[in-house]
Amino acid sequence: MRSAEKRALVLVAAIGMAVLFLTGLAGAMGRGFLEGRKDFAALYMGSRLAGTGHLYDARLEHAAQSRQFGFYMPAVTLTRLPFYAILLKPLTRLDYIPAWRVFFILNILCTLWFFRTQLWGDTLAFLLGASFLPLYAALANGQDTWLVAALFSLAMLLERRGLEFSAGAVLSLCAIKPHLFVFVPLVVILQKRWRFFAGAAVGDTLLMAAGFLAEGTGGSPGICKLSATRGSIRASR
């Protein structure tokens, strides 16, 4: 089999699996998928509160969910660092369902970018990735895992091209999910990748500054209230 034919066959197989898994999950979720009644609600409802002084107010988020869905999800509230709410704020200019569709399409594009830059060329890895059910569950449930994966992929691409400062700055955005990258700074320091480290440090400093703006001038900085979210959720039940 020719190389071009093999690549085409692999791509068709991957697309087939993607359509099968994603439509199957969406069908099983029904209106919950169509109306975005999943994790995206925390990102959207929480980001609407950015700049109000109530970024992590679970009661307000639950009230917004009740207006949108007719009920609220006690555990679905914003728990991300404040800068992320600032980045998502423009999305809240749309009504909820259009915003959910934009977010879903964005994450699909991010998934395609990751597969193209990280897995394409390795047939086994590409097909195993395409058959990985949690991939589609993350998309259907309104999670942003693939957004972070795409940012990581971009950072690695820049690093391979010798643009280490830019790579570090891009990687700082992966603080969207900081628990996934907690040991990365240690690795960078041990390897003495100082330009990479400087880019990440500058990026994180700017993101931290944006986070303090997320609560506006009339409230406490949102980052200081993050630890209170769980208590607020319990109180709202």
Any idea where the domains of the chain sit in the sequence?
3-236
Average pLDDT over residues 82-87: 90
Tell the residue number behind the tokens 């309104």, with chain if given. 142
Q: Please report the pLDDT score of residue 224 as a whole number.
A: 47
* pLDDT of 229 higher than 50: no
Q: Please report the pLDDT score of residue 134 as a whole number.
A: 87
Amino acid at 163: L
Mean pLDDT taken over the chain: 85
Task: Sort residue 216 into left (φ over 0), alpha (ψ -120 to 50) or beta.
Answer: left
Tell the residue number behind the tokens 């109530």, with chain if given. 54
* pLDDT of 189 higher than 60: yes
Q: Please report the pLDDT score of residue 29 as a whole number.
A: 85
Per-residue confidence band for 230, with pLDDT thresholds at 50, 70 and 90 = very low
Angle at 116 between CA 114 and CA 163, to 5 degrees: 70
C-alpha–C-alpha distance, residues 222 and 215, integer Å:
5
Q: Please report the pLDDT score of residue 163 as a whole number.
A: 94
* pLDDT of 1 higher than 60: no
* Per-residue DSSP letter, 164: H
* pLDDT of 13 higher than 70: yes
In the chain, DSSP finds a helix count (H) and a strand count (E) of 14, 0
Per-residue confidence band for 55, with pLDDT thresholds at 50, 70 and 90 = confident
Per residue in 151-187, pLDDT (tens digit) is 999 999 999 999 999 999 999 999 999 888 888 889 9
Per-residue confidence band for 215, with pLDDT thresholds at 50, 70 and 90 = low
* pLDDT of 30 higher than 60: yes
Enumerate the H helices of 57-193 as residue ranges: 58-69, 82-88, 96-114, 123-130, 133-140, 145-160, 164-172, 184-190
Q: Please report the pLDDT score of residue 195 as a whole number.
A: 94
Give the lowest-confidence range in 41-45, 111-115, 210-214: 210-214
C-alpha–C-alpha distance, residues 174 and 146, integer Å:
11
C-alpha–C-alpha distance, residues 167 and 203, integer Å:
10
C-alpha–C-alpha distance, residues 222 and 87, integer Å:
14
In this predicted model, which residue has the larger pLDDT, 1 or 6? Answer: 6
Which residues are CB-contacts of 184 (< 8 A; sequence separation ≥ 6)?
171
